[in-house]
Amino acid sequence: MGPDRLEGATRVRRTMVASQLVRRGITDSAVLRAMSVVARELFVPVGSRQGSYEDGPIPIGFGQTISQPYMVALTCQLAGITPGANVLDVGSGSGYQTAVLAELGARVVGVELIPELAARARESLEAAGYADRVDVHDGDGTLGIEEHAPYQAVVVAAAASRLPETLVEQLEQGGRIVAPLGSARGQWLRRSVATPDGLQTKNVVRCRFVPLVGAGRFGR
């Protein structure tokens, strides 16, 4: 990318941060910086790249989408990502949220059910310069990735009626899990914190995500 196009892309990202994120209450400076740095166009299908920074999700094939920038930023803010954190990214999809988590300094373990999307995500993450900070697996995200647990944070980019028990079990004490919960008629983005007395949960904002599919035990 030439200097003029690079400057233009940077300017568009800054506009997106100001108009879509700051105005909606995203206050975490690290999240705002990460969203201004990660090149979303690298994770969007070529034919849709002109609209990479529009305020909405974009189809990426196989009935899946790349989430709205605001939802990505809000999820990362709620997850409380700190440098060096071990993070599980369930439903990596395009790899965009995976990249934002990595830009925040996390070591990210991603898992994507659709092999073609997982392969595409790995390619995009390498092109964006994050291949050394992420590890995207093909597989069932509802089962997590036990060999890399426990996680300080788990983020889920697909909706279920209840949290998969396995994801809760792989969360360390004090860890956060951010996931959309509900039905096709309506969902809440929920933040849950693991405590000795169980999960402390809070509904944050109404949302709409594609369904979470898998063989995991759904219990909470």
Q: Which residues are catalytic?
A: 67
Q: How far apart are CA 146 and CA 154, in angstroms?
A: 12
Q: DSSP per residue over 73-111, as a string?
A: HHHHHHHT--TT-EEEEES-TTSHHHHHHHHTT-EEEEE
Please, are residues 212 and 187 in contact by the beta-carbon 8 Å criterion? no
Please, are residues 47 and 53 in contact by the beta-carbon 8 Å criterion? no
Question: Hunting for tokens 């909470």 — which residue is that?
Answer: 220
- Strand 198-207's sheet: what is its strand order? 134-138, 107-112, 86-90, 151-156, 171-183, 186-195, 198-207
